[in-house]
Amino acid sequence: MEELTSSLAALETSDTFPEDDSKPTLLPIPGPPGLPIIGNIRDFDPVFPLGTFLNFAEIYGPIFEMTLGIAGRRVFINSVELFEEVCDESRFRKVVIGALETLRSGVGTGLFTAHHGEKDWLIAHRILMPAFGPLKIRDMFDDMHDIASQLVLKWARHGPEHRILATDDFTRLTLDTLSLCTMGYRFNSFYTKEMHPFVDAMIGYLLESGKRAFRPSIANKLMRRTNAQYDQDIKYMRDLARGLVQRRRNNPTDKNDLLNAMINGRDPKTGEGLNDELICDNMITFLIAGHETTSGLLSFTFYNLIKNSTAYRAAQKEVDEVCGKGPVTIDHIPKLKYINAVLRETLRLNPTAPTFSLTPHPDLDEHPPTLGKGNYSLEGVPAVVCVLQKIHRDPKVYGADANEFKPERMLDEAFEKLPKGAWKPFGNGMRACIGRPFAWQEAVLVTAMLLQHFNFQFDDPGYELHVKQTLTIKPKDFYMRATLREGMNAVALSAATDATHGDGAAQKHPAKKTSGSDKKQQKKRMSIFYGSNTGTCEALAQSLATNAAGHGFDADVRTLDSATEKLPKDYPVVIITASYEGQPPDNATHFVEWLKSLSGNEASGTNYAVFGCGHRDWQATFQRIPTLVDDTLHKLGGTRIVERGLADAAEGDMFTNFDTWEDELFWPAINSRYGSTSAAAASTTLVSTLTAEISSNRSSKLRVDVSDARVIAAKTLTALGQPEKRHLEIQLPSNAAYHCGDYLAVLPINPKQTIHRAMKRFQLPWDARITLTSTAPTVLPTNCSMSAHDIFAAYVELSQPASKKNVLSLAAAAVDPETKSQLEALAGDQFQAEITQKRISPLDLLERYPCLHLPLGSFLTMLPPMRVRQYSISSSPLHSADTCTVSYDRLEVAALSGSGGKHYGVASNFLSSLERGDILHVAVRASAKPFHLPLDPATPIIMIAVGTGIAPFRGFVQERAVQIAAGRTLGNALLFVGCRYHDKDRLYAEEFDKWQEQGAVQLRYAFSREPELSKGCKYVQDRLRKEKVELCKAWEDGARVFVCGNARLGEEVAKVCKDGYRERRKDQGEETTEDAAEEWFGKLKEERFATDVFD
């Protein structure tokens, strides 16, 4: 202990290392004092080695060293700063040493245990990389779902009293998943009580390999019984692997799996394949590494979720919202953002492969090699051990709560901001885990399915996490219980998880059909070059080539290397490529080197487009090759057809990224530059071998005639700090058509804040379900179990002001005399002032009087059914017949009740919650006949609006602009608009300015906060009076007048008109009474004056 104390006292280092151009003085690496020969063996826990490392990390800080007997010296690092230094592959590389070296006795030169640069690894890695590409992993989804369903059904059938040893069942799951997906073999682990013998052999092999690494060789030789069992375990695993290989050779299939890749694959560089022993090495490697780490990840995940109720509920709620009650499909996976964060945070706290070892590169020009910005010498150190569990909890990166489970810190935006060395549970660089995409898809799927179907709890509420270790780590003795959610039984669940999971396979990225008539037309040439190791970029290239035919192009698809020194110049060129740790794909290396060697204008005349694939987790090299190709071609004189596209695998759906770039940017640019010979240039046809019927019966229950529409775009129109006004563009139902001035009827959902109030008032958990029965007709769904949240959200008007009958019903339910008296008074003389004018709802009254005990059924009976809201369409069908836009205010104001709360507009808050791709229920409703553009386009028009009252007039002017562009001559159009500022809430300013330049409109603004910018006019009525000469001229020319805005605007415009009429009559020598002016205005409204006034 005295030696330890003196060592610590002599240590004068900090956790960070200052930048200094001068050569630093080497510092001693701290560590526990050891004994001669055996070093620190007595300090080492052979059962839980990680515990030893974590303990010393707490003592010594970011770096320490140990001497582990015959294994020699090891330096351990525990900070992100040091970790990023050793992850520099130009200085450090993976080293197979210690227990990993011992494993070679069973798995030889498999991917995990091969030495750096070993020939077998190089060949196997190049052959197997494509087998783990995104498309191949996507193809494995159905098999993953199959095995996951077996786990779900097992737990459902065992019931809520069954004690689940999580690690065992997750091991069954991941072993069966891996073997079925990659080798077409079923272990059927869920159909036997005992674990498969492979698992027992594997555990024995791993444990003994770990122990052998720290025993003298003479001791290992003397342990005959242990050696016999060790050899038997290895023999069982290798016999199993050989049997699987022989089985496939005897019964060949065309299944595109890992086993076929190993049997039939050839190294693209050497042309060599894998011999059977090397195939067995890698099969066992995958079976061990692939299932052990994922089963540990799932076990830690459910421990963390059960331990942290807030995160648990957030995760389960996301699954409910994204996946609903139906099968989890491949398309759900990228949408489960919070589940993704949960898994990341789990691997941050408990990386299941808790360490890996690196060694200085032998060609490193450092003598001696150093660490810590030159502060520590690594001379004589064979391995630097990276302790991920400490690195991932570095408080300099993650803060004072680094040891706490907080998935929010791993949501995409926050995750991307982390230092590149702050999260590396899958290893580093070229030797990182090849099966990461497989493991991640499986983990997200399983977590979602389990949370979708079950509620979980600890078997022992007092359980605290303990960790067991072989080469990987898992929770020790972690038992939990699973209860089926929502009253579902095992029989119903069996049907729900049946073959319908095949939907995922059916939804693979579809090819788009082209018109058969196109084949008769002369097509233009196009070349598509791809750089791809995994097959993803090649698949995107083939997809683009297929679609090209529909745009009048005959596209050829080739590797990027084939374009070396012969880049086409006479027709468009598309390059689709990825980066691999910042390096080009194998079939693009020559092209990239050639491109980098150029310095003139060799790309002049080449019209090109680049699309890049990558994964943002590799921040330092993300999109490096696509960016290099794009920028270099431009620098060499090439012409970009369109800005570079980007797909990020971290977002989970590269196919959608590519489709969006292709459809919205690439083809419009191509068709603009080269023209299109196909009338179907922008159309696609979805091909599917399956049909799915989706029920959405709210509209039929509520007896409203609406159909599904899809959001195309949503944006805010006003500056920050101004009352929020928004724009929504919608793809209309196929049977919908509209005219300028029509309405879009929207069936909304109540604001989440109001729903929360109702749930809270009736003390309902967020996942409460209700079965309604009724003895009278009702629009509410009856005789079926429904989420209380959904009923409050979609079926009733929670904010509707209470009726007198409602108030009296509440009074009848009151037990307290004072409460009853107050409610009766509110239903009497006070009703108009206190209820109607203040818009007090039944929910408001229930919150005001918490002593009221009103049954939920009685409350729902009080509420009117959800109704549609109408919005003026703010676009023209001449611009786009199958889409329309609406412009609206988002209402969020202080409640008139005086409660201190807020009032949220139902429809406006619903619309503001929508994003691109969301579905809503709409119908087109015709406006009154007068509120349409005159049939004679030469008729002048006068439009008057405030705020979003400009909506229909945007449609009017847009239509006029289309007509003018077509060469038509139109009558003059005056638009008077009231808003606050010239630059903060002047809606669609750029569009209207452009249309004014085009001659489609003449703008007349009134800025209430900047009247000096609008001829001193503060309000629209002021501007109308200011421009009375112009107005009179237009009126005399037969102008039609349109007014859209609030009721006050209508009143003010009417007053201006009547005053103007009286003034004009006076100028003509005639006095006119107010009654006469009113009569005149009444006739005017019927003929040439149309209003659309809203509250």
Q: What is d(CA 1088, CA 927) in angstroms, rounded to the nearest whole number?
A: 16
| Encoded tokens for 390 | 């400490």
Q: Is-catalytic flag, 300?
A: no
Residue type, 610: V
Q: What amino acid occupies position 176?
A: D
Q: Which residues of 533-542 are buried (b: 16+ CB within 10 A; e: fewer)?
A: bbbbbbbbbb
The region that residue 249 occupies, defined by phi over 0 for left and psi between -120 and 50 for alpha, beta otherwise, is: alpha
Say whether 433 is catalytic: yes
- Indicate if 76 belongs to the active site: no
DSSP-assigned letters across all residues of 413-425: HHHHTS-TTS--T
Report CA 121 to chain centroid distance, whole Å: 35
Q: Is the Cβ–Cβ distance between 638 and 604 less than 8 Å?
A: yes
- C-alpha distances in angstroms, 430 versus 51, 116, 129, 427, 565? 28, 10, 11, 9, 29
Burial class (CB in 10 A: 0-12, 13-18, 19+), 929: exposed
Catalytic residue among 67, 109, 177, 293: 293
Which residues, other chains included, contact 78 with Cβ-Cβ below 8 Å and sequence gap of 6+?
Answer: 57, 61, 62, 63, 64, 387, 390, 391, 394
The β-bridge partners of 904 are: 892
Interatomic CA distance for residues 129 and 580, integer angstroms: 11
- Longest C-alpha distance within the chain, in Å? 129
DSSP string across 843-866: HHHHHH-TT----HHHHHHHSPBP
Spot the catalytic one: 433, 740, 884, 979.
433
Residue whose structure tokens are 């590519």: 658
- Closest alpha carbon to 353 in 277, 292, 279: 292
Q: How far apart are the first and last CA of the chain?
A: 82
Residues 212, 231: Cα–Cα separation, whole Å: 13
For residue 1006, the number of C-alpha atoms closer than 13 Å in the C-beta half-sphere is: 21
Query: How far is 952 from 1001, CA to CA, in rounded Å?
Result: 14
- The backbone torsions φ and ψ at residue 1071, rounded to the nearest 5 degrees and listed phi first, read -90, 135
Nearest to 711 by CA among 913, 905, 563: 913
Token duo for residue 930:
């007068």
Active-site entry in 187, 426, 454, 611: 426
Residue 840, token pair as written in the block:
């007090």
Q: Which residues are designated catalytic?
A: 293, 426, 433
